[in-house]
Structure 1
Amino acid sequence: MSNKKFTKLVLLFCLFFNFTFLVNAQTTSIIKGYDIYLNPYKGNDTNAGTKESPLKTLNEAAKRVNKASDGGAITVYLSSGIYGMNETADFNPVNYKFTKANRLIIRAEILPDDISWNPSDMPVLISTMSFSVEKDDKGQVTGSQNFGILIQNSHATIQGLRILGEPVHENPSKGMLIRNYPIVWEGKDLEDLRITQCLFLGDKFAIPNHLGVLANGKALEVDHCVFYGVKDAVVMWKNPVSNSSMHHNLIINSYGGIVWTWSATNDFKFYSNVISNANVLWILDKDEKESFLIENSIIVGYNSYVNKGGGAHGFGENANPEKLKVSKDVILKKEGKLEIIEDQTDKFYLHIKSGTLGSNLGAGLFTK
């Protein structure tokens, strides 16, 4: 064989090898999905979105996810820092398929269970966006709203984020209400959303956090979250919400309703939660169709035990207390409060003080 022919064969082999490698690599990336990295200080929304070249905003990450096709897991990593949400991060990947195993995950780079974690590592999301205007039948403005993270797909997880509201005047005039919804799950035939290890913070006067999680879908799980000073924690509001749960959450100083089960079915599980200083513990749908069970929880200090109906502008009216069943392992006290760690340098900042009432249930950001 001549040297010239040999050289051609080598070149053809190399081209074939490279082509095969690229095809396999692309196939593998479809199976395994891919990662998107964010950094609010070093990032730029024209970057590639890799760890070395991160994006700046969560809404740009949503746009990248929405352009994806085929299927596989996608993880969006947020580094520590402050993310100003000047528009909704709308995740709506219509040409991409997630499954229970291969999910859309939006998470902090460092999670609470990591040995090196401390509260200052949490990515901070704060809304700075405009509000849509709402009018009644007479054309009079009754309020406005906006969404922080909007999830329009099944099989998603949001983990390890510190989520604030928006610095607005919530009640500018009589009958008018301005409200921010940090996490909204909305769409048709949705299933499987998990919100875990997130810290929802608000102040009704300075930075109202109207509602932590507004959900419309089956298999909702909210666990190991802290809701501190948030008006309403979780609302299940449309279509039958089956196979859902709230567990190991710490909810302090709520000035609205803790959990709204308007659309939840009676298999909704509520256990190992710790609640203190609540306005309304539970709000049923106006027809009181379902009954629910509270298990292995501690509830100290509340104004109203169970209501029905209500909405954005109110908390309804007293409901039949028999609609809430309480197991023997529940501590329920109308008066009192729990002891909270307020030292910001403490790893357990805003958690129950060790050795005091409520500290033994494992409610809060840590799963280990």
Structure 2
Amino acid sequence: MYKLAIGLFLLCAMPFARTTAQTLFVDPVKGRDNATGTVNDPLLSIGKAVALANDFTGKEPVTIKLAPGLHILTDQVVLKPFKTKDDATPYTIEAVVMPDDTGWMPSKMPVIQSISPNNKNWAKFDHCTGFQVERNNTRFKGLKFVGNTNPAVVYYYTIERHFQELKDMEVSQCIFVGNRNSAPIQGALFAQGSGIKVDHCIFYECKNALLLFLSVNGFSLTNSIIYGAYEGAIWFGKYSDFVFSNNVIANNSCFWISMKDFTPQYTFSNSLITDNKIFMGLNNDGNIVSDDKTVPVTKNVQRSGKVLLHVVDTDTIPRNYLHLAPASAGRDIPAGLFRAAGSR
């Protein structure tokens, strides 16, 4: 009878163990790479967590939770389909503490930095990738990405998804911060495929924020800030079916770069697009030229006004840094990390 009871207990516990095994915790301060990955025994590196997750065979969603601190990438991190080839369930990399959580501060945000040399040669193009996405249904949430400090790297892409048959990617409540003189970001998100959703994100002084060329049906950019892109804010392929709403796009070299030999039907809504050197541009074999022919439909879009951001000017990083300051144009637009209106 005792053995039967133990057997029944283990049988009932198995589904729970399999479910919890698909959530892994990473702590760059307290973690160990030979740890189990539980909340009380976290792993040390994102690379180790992803390597373990790539071996999962179950159908439950995978979640990798990152504790506050500096997470260093020494090589590209590749998100692969499960061994069962089932990638219909979400695969999420997210902060333990999210921006809308009680007690969140910028110091709670996991910071991801690459020091890797060039680690990708796609179509004979040498570059460095932070995260290489090779599966469907991926999510990046509540993370801060900074540039690559390796002096040998010229082109660094924080998140790349180059297979155009892939679908469904969400990047939400994330910050991408580049510095052209020390830790540049060539492209914050360089992605192909359908169902790319970018929401409540901030892109600050990246060379390019969004590079989206092939099969980018169903794209959406909402509630986000793109500021100071010194080449282009958004490069976009030959598609018109997207949602663009509640964004602030300011002080960039060019706002929107479309493809040659394509007559788009663009609609931009409820946004501030101001102080960009070029409003609409064309991708002329990698060079940006002004596009005077494309006239998008604009619905409640402001085209003038000075954008002022909260920046670090004291010893403390303000809670709402890189968000719109009180005197800024566009304060009526719900753009930035926080979904709750009172948090901005």
Match among 82, 94, 98 for residue 111 of structure 1: 98
Give ranges in structure 2 of 5+ residues lacking alignment. Answer: none
Corresponding position of 2:319: 347
Corresponding position of 1:186: 162
Corresponding position of 2:291: 319
Q: CA RMSD in A?
A: 2.3
Whole-Å separation in 2 of the counterparts to 1:33 and 1:73:
10
Corresponding position of 1:224: 200
Whole-Å separation in 2 of the counterparts to 1:287 and 1:56:
49
- SS of 2:322's equivalent in the other structure is coil
- SS of 1:87's equivalent in the other structure is coil
Which letter does structure 1 place at the counterpart of 2:303? Answer: L
Shift in Å, 1:320: 4.2
Whole-Å separation in 2 of the counterparts to 1:119 and 1:208:
21
Contact 1:34 1:73 in 2 (8 A): yes
Shift of the 135–54 alpha-carbon distance from structure 1 to 2, 3 Å rule, reads closer
What per-residue deviation string (whole Å, max 9, x for no partner) do you get for residues 6-54 of structure 1? xxxx2xxx33333333333333455676210001111111111111111
Contact 1:288 1:319 in 2 (8 A): no
Shift of the 19–354 alpha-carbon distance from structure 1 to 2, 3 Å rule, reads farther
Match among 120, 124, 142 for residue 160 of structure 1: 142
Corresponding position of 2:22: 34
Whole-Å separation in 1 of the counterparts to 2:123 and 2:170:
34
Match among 37, 45, 51 for residue 57 of structure 1: 45
Whole-Å separation in 2 of the counterparts to 1:135 and 1:219:
22
Number of aligned positions between the proteins: 336
Fraction of identical pairs, as percent: 25
Corresponding position of 1:122: 109
Corresponding position of 1:5: none
Matched, 1:236 2:212: yes
Matched, 1:338 2:314: no
Whole-Å separation in 1 of the counterparts to 2:99 and 2:78:
26
Note the 1:297-312 alignment, pairs <5 A: 297-310=271-284
- SS of 1:302's equivalent in the other structure is coil
What per-residue deviation string (whole Å, max 9, x for no partner) do you get for residues 47-72 of structure 1? 11111111111111111111010211
Whole-Å separation in 2 of the counterparts to 1:346 and 1:235:
30
Note the 1:1-368 alignment, pairs <5 A: 10=1, 14-30=2-18, 34-96=22-84, 97-99=86-88, 102-132=89-119, 144-168=126-150, 178-187=154-163, 189-238=165-214, 240-263=215-238, 265-310=239-284, 314-327=286-299, 329-333=300-304, 337-343=306-312, 344-354=316-326, 356-368=328-340
Shift in Å, 1:305: 1.3
- SS of 2:231's equivalent in the other structure is strand
Which letter does structure 2 place at the counterpart of 1:128? Answer: I
What per-residue deviation string (whole Å, max 9, x for no partner) do you get for residues 275-314 of structure 1? 1101010011222243211111001201111222256xx4
Whole-Å separation in 2 of the counterparts to 1:186 and 1:20:
47
Shift in Å, 1:185: 2.1
Contact 2:67 2:95 in 1 (8 A): yes
Which letter does structure 1 place at the counterpart of 2:236? Answer: T
Contact 1:72 1:98 in 2 (8 A): no
Q: Identify the range of structure 1 (179-188 vs 215-224) with the bigger mean alpha-carbon deviation.
A: 179-188
What per-residue deviation string (whole Å, max 9, x for no partner) do you get for residues 89-140 of structure 1? 11103325344xx411100111110120011111111110011486999xxx
- SS of 1:288's equivalent in the other structure is coil
Shift in Å, 1:86: 0.3
Contact 1:70 1:95 in 2 (8 A): no
Whole-Å separation in 2 of the counterparts to 1:341 and 1:243:
32
Which letter does structure 2 place at the counterpart of 1:154? Answer: N
Shift of the 55–31 alpha-carbon distance from structure 1 to 2, 3 Å rule, reads closer
Whole-Å separation in 2 of the counterparts to 1:269 and 1:325:
12
- SS of 1:22's equivalent in the other structure is helix
Give ranges in structure 1 of 5+ residues lacking alignment. Answer: 1-9, 138-142, 171-176
- SS of 1:178's equivalent in the other structure is coil
Which letter does structure 1 place at the counterpart of 2:233? Answer: I
Higher-Rg structure is: 1
Whole-Å separation in 1 of the counterparts to 2:241 and 2:287:
23
Contact 1:33 1:73 in 2 (8 A): no
- SS of 1:64's equivalent in the other structure is helix
Contact 2:207 2:231 in 1 (8 A): yes
- SS of 2:54's equivalent in the other structure is helix
What per-residue deviation string (whole Å, max 9, x for no partner) do you get for residues 191-221 of structure 1? 2110000010011111111111111121110
Whole-Å separation in 2 of the counterparts to 1:119 and 1:24:
41
Shift of the 316–357 alpha-carbon distance from structure 1 to 2, 3 Å rule, reads closer
Shift in Å, 1:324: 2.4
